[in-house]
Amino acid sequence: MARRMNYSARFTYSTEQVYAALSSRDHWDARIEEMKKYSHNELISFEVGESGIDVVMHHIIPKTELPDIAQTVMKKDMIITRNVHIDSYSEETTGHYDASIPAGPGSLKGVTSLFPTATGSTLRTSSEAKVFLPFVGGKLEQLMLVNLRDLWRGEGEVTADWLEKNA
């Protein structure tokens, strides 16, 4: 059974300013640099076009740094490929993401929405983790979502810092 989680990053900047940050290669480079504190990360591709923003990233976690329960499943370093798409700008912009692990026993995906608030804007991410392993699947799903919450929090902080310096 899949587990779900919502996370909201709140900004004191307009949706237009947040979208402009998300449209900037420098912003994504800053995100990758910050996330290198926790694992090896690479920005594989970044494109802005008529349909919106498309980003592909790799998060590489050495097997030795994985929790014991994950080490029993993963035989090598964990390479997570995250694909992010954010639709073209509108006052309420949507998007989606998915993350995959080669030979991984599950899936991680979600939808995003950027919308205005009385004090600025919010970037909400709704995620779903699913692991297809009996007995340990639920524990791994919960582990994924806890770590994902930390990732979203860190990325939200990078975006807020970037906006403070560049907006």
**For 32, phi and psi rounded to 5 degrees?**
-60, -45
In the prediction, which pLDDT does 65 show?
Answer: 78
In the prediction, which pLDDT does 53 show?
Answer: 98
Gap between the Cα atoms of 42 and 92, Å rounded: 29
pTM of the model: 0.89
In the prediction, which pLDDT does 140 show?
Answer: 74
In the prediction, which pLDDT does 132 show?
Answer: 80
- For the chain (length 167 residues), average pLDDT per consecutive 10? 92 98 97 86 96 95 77 77 96 95 83 98 95 76 82 93 93
In the prediction, which pLDDT does 36 show?
Answer: 86
**For 14, phi and psi rounded to 5 degrees?**
-70, 165
Torsion of CA 100, 33, 30, 48, to 10 degrees: -40
Gap between the Cα atoms of 127 and 111, Å rounded: 7
In the prediction, which pLDDT does 38 show?
Answer: 76
Gap between the Cα atoms of 9 and 117, Å rounded: 12
* Alpha-carbon separation of residue 120 from 12, 13, 80 (angstroms): 4, 5, 32
In the prediction, which pLDDT does 23 show?
Answer: 97
C-alpha closest to that of 30 among 16, 7, 46, 53: 46
